[in-house]
Amino acid sequence: NAGVMQNPRHLVRRRGQEARLRCSPMKGHSHVYWYRQLPEEGLKFMVYLQKENIIDESGMPKERFSAEFPKEGPSILRIQQVVRGDSAAYFCASSPTFGGFTDTQYFGPGTRLTVL
């Protein structure tokens, strides 16, 4: 009964490098959400994806950030040419239904990205 899995849990990159964050949703879940959390702040919505489709990317920075959720495999959040301001915790959540809430959006443990 695995929950949402994210890897790596910790990622260190130097400025200018690329960061790839992976999220495996709960079994049977086809909706994935990515959030970013800066220290001492709440989570900020980035993007909502379904299999092979980006549904809502209104929270994604216009440049350097991209996300995908292929038919097979985990969802990937990709940050190109990282800068120090990208240092944050990135959380993935999954749900089994369209946009449904209450307790149907389950969060992973997060990936903590540090940019040196």
Partner 1 sequence: GESVGLHLPTLSVQEGDNSIINCAYSNSASDYFIWYKQESGKGPQFIIDIRSNMDKRQGQRVTVLLNKTVKHLSLQIAATQPGDSAVYFCAEIVSGNFGNEKLTFGTGTRLTIIP
Q: 106 with 96: CB under 8 angstroms?
A: no
Q: Are strands 75-79 and 88-95 parallel, antiparallel or unpaired?
A: unpaired
Closer by beta carbon to partner 1, 18 or else 52? 52
Positions touching partner 1 (CB under 8 A) are: 4, 33, 35, 40-45, 48, 55-56, 58-59, 91, 93, 98-103, 105, 107-110
Cβ of residue 57: shortest distance to partner 1, in angstroms? 10
Closer by beta carbon to partner 1, 45 or else 87? 45
Dihedral class, residue 31 (left if φ above 0, else alpha if ψ from -120 to 50, else beta): beta
